[in-house]
Amino acid sequence: MPLPASARNLVLVGFMGSGKSSVGREIARRWGYRFLDTDLAIRQKHGKTISEIFESSGEAFFRDEENLALQHFQASSGAVIATGGGIVLQLRNRALLRSLGLVVWLTATEEVIWERVSRNRNRPLLKSGNPRATITNLMTLRNRLYHSVADITVETSGLTHQQVADQVVAAVTLWSPGGYENNH
Ligand code: S3P
């Protein structure tokens, strides 16, 4: 059994470019679990990219859609669930994340995040005049929120998705409620 009996799902949180979707898919493949992703669910529901949704309906609408996706996922078990980097902003989402299962925070240094996200242009929050400064500001604001929901933290800088998946699987295997790496 890949997950401890007390956890229904594996949930990945972290900043843009931390590798949640790629690593999540890999772990789901290894464990034979379903893969769910809030961004993907919202894209499929609206038939638009996240950037298009931000442009046509605004960020507040997108944040409500993230909350609806998390509510929808509450019916799931045996899934690996990747989330958008801003999912932790809402208090109600932080409670939903915790109730979904074991929460893993994927971290990376600011330099590594910048190197990863500057390769593509599909992140609306980084379309600002100074995306590098936006990353600094958002990371400062959000890190304590990721920390507050996480059972386990895995540092990903310099690692391939395969290597991160190895680390997550190893940490989950060692984890027990109230024990290893438990922040609560
Ligand atoms: C966002 C992160 C994105 C996506 C949207 C907003 C954020 O997901 O949900 O662009 O607020 O950090 P990724 O973390 O998968 O890039």
**Strand 79-82 versus strand 101-107 pairing type:** unpaired
Mean model confidence pLDDT for the chain: 94
pLDDT at residue number 179 = 63
pLDDT digits (tens, 9 = 90+) for 140-177: 999 999 999 999 999 999 999 999 999 999 999 998 77
In a domain, 5, yes or no: no
Say what the pTM is. 0.95
Residue nearest to atom 3 of ligand 1 (CA): 84
- What pLDDT, on the 0 to 100 scale, is given for residue 95? 98
1 in a structural domain: no
Burial category of 92 from C-beta neighbours within 10 Å (exposed 0-12, middle 13-18, buried 19 and up): exposed
Quote the number of domains for the chain.
1
Residue 24 inside a domain? The answer is yes
CB 15 within 8 A of CB 142: yes
Domain extent for 118: 10-174
Residue 180, pLDDT score? 56
Judge whether 32 lies within some domain. yes
Atom in ligand 1 nearest the alpha carbon of residue 66: 9
For residue 131 the two structure tokens come to 């995306």
Residue 179 lies in a domain: no
Q: Is residue 95 part of a domain?
A: yes
Residue having the nearest C-alpha atom to atom 16 of ligand 1:
16
User: Is 125's C-beta closer than 6 angstroms to any atom of ligand 1?
Assistant: yes
- Please state, for a pLDDT cut of 90, what percent of the chain lies above it: 87
Residue 1's pLDDT band, with cuts at 50, 70 and 90, is low
Pocket test for ligand 1, best of 25, 110, 123 (most atoms within 8 A of CB): 123
pLDDT of 182 higher than 50: no
How far apart are the C-alpha atoms of 153 and 26, rounded to whole Å? 18
Q: What is the CATH classification number for the domain harbouring 25?
A: 3.40.50.300
Does residue 85 have a pLDDT over 90? yes
Is residue 142 lining ligand 1, measured as CB closer than 6 Å?
no
Domain for residue 40, yes or no? yes
Ligand 1 center to residue 4 CA distance, Å? 28
